Structure 1
């Protein structure tokens, strides 16, 4: 029987790594796109130990052509993509009087635009029941002025998820942003593992009561 597949865009040691490990334990094969070869290698080894088949690629996801080629190649190897999880964002400590338009657009290209690239590339391999998930943040509603571009990214990606969900729904594919209303830490309700569980739950919502934004408040 063919195993389901999750593609993780922006894979690393935090929430995305926890998502990868959780889905692997639940029987998924995993595709990883990230920027750090060492981190991808370590995560890939963990997934293999958990019994998952994996594909990993070091790629700048703001490079539309290369990212599209990589996702297409992974889709062809796996045969299908059941879940796309989007995690990247840019943290730039600049307030609105320091932030330049060029810097803002560069950050939005990563934290919002790359979601378009990922979904458009994965779509030919997704069928009814497919899901798109995004790691959201309370910064969408309560931005810290010293990281002004992050709030714009998180508000923008949440808005894009709503549009993706409406667009994909007729084909039985749904999209959801999990808005993390707390600060990630090593202990307590906001560990990466706990957030990953919230993302798992969001993927497995009842389609008849689907919400394209799910808050996680711990």
Structure 2
């Protein structure tokens, strides 16, 4: 198993991506700790993992509460002995589709402040318990908006670029402590049914404005057709990639971004 005897913390572990990664990490032998705001979502993921024989613990934690996040990380490290892997999969609701003339500064700053604040708080909390004799891995999530020249995504694009810059610089800082930092950049992540996912909720207003369903926007000649593969990445593909990047098989990878955009971006 790729992650046998590893201890992994996933913030936003009750969400679509966080939950999918938790299930794969547990399947690959990791002891998984998921944290998030909504108990019911955390419990649903934990039920799936436990049913498959995996090891998982849950905690209600507000990722924007630095003291609470640090206390949780301290408790995990005390219980497990170390934190070997961490992923921040927290989602921040934000606007997509509004152009500069109609965009408020508050809406522009919402994803920038939210995503980067959460990434800073969680990374700082776990890094103290990582590395040295046990290699550590911090995984981050961004989006193609970091490089796309598309109108209506100013805040989204700035936050995505900020997360990728954060990951690269943090990799340089933590490398001497035997900690890798690797970003994952999926496109709009889909799974059936797409309309029930965070992706579906995010793109619902854009689809409605275009007179389309979310499925039509994502698949029917829409976003999927803008990729080389003519499809969008799935939750399973993101989760399997995360497990590989967190494993020793990717031990030479740090300070870089794994492009899971299905060819929407070609690096």
User: TM-score per shorter chain, which class?
Assistant: 0.7 to 0.9
* CA–CA distance in structure 2, aligned partners of residues 144 and 65 of structure 1: 38
Match of 2:128 in 1: 124
Larger Rg: 2
Match of 1:213 in 2: 257
Which segment drifts farther, 171-180 or 47-56?
Answer: 47-56
Corresponding residue pairs, total: 216
**Secondary structure, in 3 states, of the residue corresponding to 2:154?**
helix
8 A Cα contact 1:55 1:74, kept in partner: no
**Secondary structure, in 3 states, of the residue corresponding to 1:153?**
helix
Describe the superposition over 1:163-213 as per-residue Cα deviations: whole angstroms up to 9, x where unpaired. Answer: 110011111110011111x32222665110111112222223543454521
Select 1:107's aligned residue among 108, 111, 116. 111
Which segment drifts farther, 44-53 or 166-175?
Answer: 44-53
Residue 202 in structure 1 maps to residue 240 in structure 2: no
Select 1:150's aligned residue among 152, 156, 160. 156
8 A Cα contact 2:7 2:30, kept in partner: yes
8 A Cα contact 1:176 1:212, kept in partner: yes
**Secondary structure, in 3 states, of the residue corresponding to 2:101?**
coil
Residue 185 in structure 1 maps to residue 190 in structure 2: yes
Which segment drifts farther, 16-25 or 93-102?
Answer: 93-102
Match of 2:65 in 1: 63
Select 1:86's aligned residue among 65, 85, 88. 88
* CA–CA distance in structure 2, aligned partners of residues 3 and 167 of structure 1: 26
Structure 1 runs of 4+ off > 4 angstroms?
none
**Secondary structure, in 3 states, of the residue corresponding to 2:131?**
coil
Match of 1:32 in 2: 34
Describe the superposition over 1:28-69 as per-residue Cα deviations: whole angstroms up to 9, x where unpaired. Answer: 111112122111111111122223332222222112222222
Indicate the RMSD between aligned Cα atoms, in angstroms.
Answer: 2.2
Match of 2:17 in 1: 15
Q: Which runs of 5+ in 1 are unaligned?
A: none
When normalised by structure 1's length, the TM-score is 0.88
Which segment drifts farther, 163-172 or 113-122?
Answer: 113-122
Structure 1 residue 143, shift from structure 2 partner: 6.2
8 A Cα contact 2:167 2:255, kept in partner: no
**Secondary structure, in 3 states, of the residue corresponding to 1:184?**
coil
